[in-house]
Structure 1
Amino acid sequence: MKTNENERVTSILNDLIRTNLDRIKGYQKAADEIKDTTDFEVKSLFSKMAEDSRSYKSSLADAVVRLGGTPAKDTTAAGDVYRAWMDVKSTFSTDDVLAALQLCEFGEDRALESYKDALSENFEWPVGVRTLVESQRSSIKQSHDKIKNYRDQYAHTH
């Protein structure tokens, strides 16, 4: 693969690393802010989502290193997703878990958009890298749907 193609792939992968750093910060903040023990299931879900993103970030970083790049260590440049996640903090001042679930769903929408953008790039991906990105996107889609289901259930029971 040509050097400029490697740089293009590492740039795309670094964007996905930043997306996962956003997810980690957002879900960790959401989990930390839930104090009510009756919402333990939602808190556990948020913690699992953060852990999943740590794993995704690690796999993406390994791929970047294999391609000769340096993995990103910052959140998204624009910070839009991160700011949306950080709104979770104010959400919990009113103990509104439903609003937190809505914000997390919004964050998942942004994450899915990042993965969709990455996968729409038209070039020959290094062996195994596109499969890695597709697998993570699929997993994030499942997370999105799980958050949406919790949100719907929470809206009907609270």
Structure 2
Amino acid sequence: MENTKATVETLNDLVLINNDRIAGFERAINELKDDGADLKNTFVNFIGDSHRFKMEIATEIAALGKDIETGTSTSGKLHRTWLDLKAAFNGHSTHSILEECEFGEDAIKKTYQTALDGEALPAYIRELLTRQQSNLKAAHDTVKALRDGVLH
């Protein structure tokens, strides 16, 4: 019973961080200038990935007979508030948008690693999260490469 509770808490944390990721990329899309069509498409794909990840995780939470968290995490809300404040001073250059996207990708990678480092997860859930984590690492590397390719 205690393992189930810990597993559900971990999975709900991952639902919330995926919600944060979706909100972050939606915000980035809104801030990109008209010439950022390719970047917008990349971000839309990342949003789709996080929706799929959430559904996969939610299926496991439901199978354990528990409720699925909704909304975004407190840390995600604080990060977006900070971004709003920073943007008021810095504007919305493509480089700064990509920097913030990379920061968000770092956060979700860390959350997944923390979840996988925990001992409560059954092997089949660990396998699911490892697959998602691999996808997230590739997305992070894409964002980092895009950021590195854009002039300040």
- Find out whether 1:13 has 2:32 as its counterpart: no
- Give the Cα–Cα distance (whole angstroms) in 1 for the partners of residues 129 and 84 of structure 2: 27
> 1:47: Cα distance to partner?
1.3
Post-superposition Cα deviations, 1:96-134, rounded to whole Å, max 9, x if no partner, equal: 0100000000000010010010001124x3352111111
- Give the Cα–Cα distance (whole angstroms) in 2 for the partners of residues 85 and 52 of structure 1: 20
- Find out whether 1:81 has 2:76 as its counterpart: yes
Indicate the residue corresponding to 2:69 in structure 1.
72
AA partner of residue 62 (structure 1): T
- Please report the TM-score for the alignment, with normalisation by the length of structure 2: 0.89
AA partner of residue 81 (structure 1): G
Post-superposition Cα deviations, 1:10-37, rounded to whole Å, max 9, x if no partner, equal: 110000000000001110111122232x
Match of 1:128 among 111, 124, 133: 124
AA partner of residue 110 (structure 1): A
Of structures 1 and 2, the one scoring higher in RCO (CA 8 A, sep 6+) is 2
Structure 2 stretches of 5 or more lacking a match? none
Aligned-CA RMSD value: 2.0
SS of the equivalent of 1:69 reads coil
SS of the equivalent of 2:119 reads coil
Q: Extract structure 1 runs of 4+ deviating beyond 6 A.
A: none
Post-superposition Cα deviations, 1:33-82, rounded to whole Å, max 9, x if no partner, equal: 2232x211111111111111111111100110011111110211xx2234
- Give the Cα–Cα distance (whole angstroms) in 1 for the partners of residues 127 and 17 of structure 2: 18
- Give the Cα–Cα distance (whole angstroms) in 1 for the partners of residues 6 and 102 of structure 2: 29
- Give the Cα–Cα distance (whole angstroms) in 2 for the partners of residues 96 and 71 of structure 1: 36
Residues 89 and 61 of structure 1, relative CA distance in 2, 3 Å threshold? farther
- Give the Cα–Cα distance (whole angstroms) in 1 for the partners of residues 87 and 140 of structure 2: 19
- Please report the TM-score for the alignment, with normalisation by the length of structure 1: 0.86
Aligned ranges for residues 9-158 of structure 1 at < 5 Å?
9-36=7-34, 38-76=35-73, 79-85=74-80, 87=83, 91=87, 94-123=91-120, 125-155=121-151
Structure 1 stretches of 5 or more lacking a match? none
Residues 90 and 30 of structure 1, relative CA distance in 2, 3 Å threshold? farther
- Give the Cα–Cα distance (whole angstroms) in 1 for the partners of residues 24 and 84 of structure 2: 8
AA partner of residue 67 (structure 1): L
